[in-house]
Amino acid sequence: MFLFLSFGVKSQEVISPLISNSDLQKNTRSIYDNKSSLSIPFIDDFSNNSSYPDSNLWKDNSVFINRNYGVNPITIGVATFDGLNLNGIAYNMTSTATDSENADTLTSQQIDLSNIDTSYFMFYYQAQGNGNDPQITDSLILEFYSGTDSLGDAIWNTVWEKEGSTFHQFKKVVYIFTDPEYLTLDFSFRFRNLASVTGNFDHWNIDYVKLDEYHNSSDTSFLNDVAFVRNTPQILKRYREMPWIHFVNDMTQEMNDSLDIILRNNTDIIQSIDYRYDVYNENGNLTYHYPVLGGNNSTRNVDVPPYYYIDTGTYAFNSPPIMIDDQIFPVSSADSAEFIFRNSINTEPSDFKNNDTVFHLQRFYSHFAYDDGSAESAYGINVQGAKLAYKFNLNRPDTLRIVQMKFVEMHEDLTSNKFALTIWDNNNGDPGQEVYKDTVEIEYKDRGKFTNYYLKNGVGLIGTFFVGWEQITNDILNLGLDKNSVANDYMLYNIGGGWVNSQFPGAWMIRPVVNFDTPLISYLSEKIVIDCKIYPNPFSDKTSIYFNNNSQRTFKLFDMIGRTVRSFSSSDNKIDIYKENLRKGIYFIQITEGNVMQTKKLILN
């Protein structure tokens, strides 16, 4: 009975494999045609910043090139095989076959091997990764081209095959061959997989495919490559993206104090590399360079140990760490901003260069986001009346105007399925009083876009708040789950026994949108509990705030774009505010007394 109840509680939360890939649906495909024979070495580590294979190296484009599905890759980027076609849609949504079927294919362009007598083929593979585990009837297959038959059809010989399994780290495969039928002017190879073709299932990742002349065992023992293995680390401590107004209001609190740069040295010796990062604004102008000393072309030199020689496998810049500060982001009065981070290393000339530079676009718009915009699974709760709440924090009073949600389409169409969109205030770190509730319907957006749920009149908020829903049915609503971001500290659900954190690592794809216009409306006025009066208001030179008693209070004065222009504390029952260097306009004074917070509007003539 205990085991049954434990399983029952955990089963209320459900994650499911996707049936489509919106990242492919929203990208433009390359043009693929036959090229003249390539020379060796043939190398592709899939670090190109595209969703499709490099058309200079490959003939087809049904696999997904990405940085999301691989776990601890050899270098940044992998090629993922699944049950989806090149448009990110299931090959056959209605298939009822019990056996796995032909799915993705990755075929090389022709490669000239006619001038060598021994060649080697090397690659790394991983089952499942951040996706769905391939079953024992599923396979990843490597085939070599060996001419055509009497009818002119291509002959493909299987040289390696692996049946499905659960997750494992990347494994290396080496195939050495001297066969004359392969050492030709027009040699080609291909990977393909057998999978369930009704959705985004049965994932395999491959990385670092290399074909070259074989001399001795050292050719295949290690890779001559030091590389990035992850995207540029997050600049923000908590969010992936946040409104510019709230960021500049407390930059120190929101920014990480260092960058966790991760490299992998795939050679067998210590490698000396030079590292730098540069930050550019949306106009392409350099706003910051690291290292600070030495000018805009300076670099930091470090010795990177081989991957297999250190306990953690990868190398992190933590002695000393790569520090960052708020000089990166020049403060402006704009309501949004974008910055490009370019991280790069300079390695030996023989080192493969495609994985030596990574970029990250840091957006500051009008929304808060824990997710990276890409869903790897669908999330839901299968209990009627269940509540889901996502925790956010404001650095200034503001008005919540829109809640964005990304629902992913599954086999069961839930279009028009209703749920109660709900906003809660904060109760000691958990959702408290409901401050907004409205019955809305699930909508799916083309190309994986978020659905905008507009709030009637907006909701004025201060400090911590929660966004989510209460379920009207027991249907699993299939909210997008980003498995490359972890926000479980802020993800809460309640099936009747109290609020608990979600057990599935990831980030729900819910984004509240705020508006920096006047942030005070009905909700805030209903919550006023600090008894005070302001006179005169409007004022020209000085105004005063009068309280009924002496008590310790803190005050923050905001301008209209949310910047803190003054901050102070006092226990007096009368507070004077002077014009001094303030310009005429509208201001907001935030008063905090104990656990109570209130905001008032001031007008300076």
Same domain, 503 and 418: yes
pLDDT, tens only, 46-93 = 999 889 999 999 999 899 999 999 999 999 999 999 999 999 999 998
Same domain, 265 and 326: yes
Same domain, 283 and 314: yes
Among 236, 243, 250, 331, residue whose Cα is nearest residue 515: 243
Residue 87 counted as domain residue:
yes
Q: How confident is the model at residue 6 (pLDDT cuts 50, 70, 90)?
A: very low
Residue 303 counted as domain residue:
yes
Q: Can you give the CATH number for the domain in which 360 is found?
A: 2.60.40
pLDDT, tens only, 191-249 = 999 999 999 999 999 999 999 999 999 999 999 999 999 888 889 999 999 999 899 88
Q: Which pLDDT does position 447 carry in this prediction?
A: 65
Residue 276 counted as domain residue:
yes
Same domain, 254 and 350: yes
Q: How confident is the model at residue 159 (pLDDT cuts 50, 70, 90)?
A: very high
> CA-CA distances (angstroms) from residue 253 to 238, 480, 599?
10, 28, 22
Q: What is the mean pLDDT of the chain?
A: 90
Q: What is the residue type of 299?
A: T
Dist CA 360 CA 277 (whole Å): 11
Q: Can you give the CATH number for the domain in which 484 is found?
A: 2.60.120
Give the start-end residues of each E strand in 442-583. Answer: 451-461, 464-471, 479-482, 491-494, 500-501, 507-508, 510-515, 532-535, 542-547, 553-558, 564-570, 574-578
Point out the domain boundary residue: 174, 190, 221: 221
Six-digit token string for 356: 């030596």
User: What is 10-73 written as a DSSP string?
Assistant: HTTEEEE--SB-HHHHTSPPPP----SPBPSPEEE-S-SSSSS--TTTBS---SEEESSS-SS-
Residue 523 counted as domain residue:
no
Same domain, 413 and 468: yes
Dist CA 378 CA 373 (whole Å): 13
Residue 460 counted as domain residue:
yes
Same domain, 35 and 55: yes
pLDDT, tens only, 41-53 = 999 999 998 899 9
Cβ within 8 Å of residue 515, ≥6 positions away: 366, 398, 399, 401, 458
Q: Which pLDDT does position 1 carry in this prediction?
A: 27
Match 């040289």 to its residue by tokens: 159
Cβ within 8 Å of residue 213, ≥6 positions away: 40, 116, 118, 119, 120
Q: How confident is the model at residue 522 (pLDDT cuts 50, 70, 90)?
A: very low
Residue 6 counted as domain residue:
no
Point out the domain boundary residue: 169, 190, 221: 221
Q: Can you give the CATH number for the domain in which 29 is found?
A: 2.60.120.260
Q: Regarding predicted confidence, which is higher, 447 or 178?
A: 178
Same domain, 594 and 445: no
Residue 4 counted as domain residue:
no
Same domain, 212 and 106: yes
Point out the domain boundary residue: 494, 515, 536: 515
Cβ within 8 Å of residue 156, ≥6 positions away: 143, 144, 145, 146, 190
Same domain, 256 and 322: yes
Among 385, 477, 479, 469, residue whose Cα is nearest residue 420: 469
Q: Can you give the CATH number for the domain in which 571 is found?
A: 2.60.40.3080
State which residues form the domain around 498. 377-515
Same domain, 355 and 409: no
Residue 11 counted as domain residue:
no
> Chain centroid to CA 34: how far?
35
Question: What's the whole-model pTM score?
Answer: 0.81
Same domain, 88 and 200: yes
Same domain, 148 and 84: yes
Counting the structural domains of the chain, the total is 4
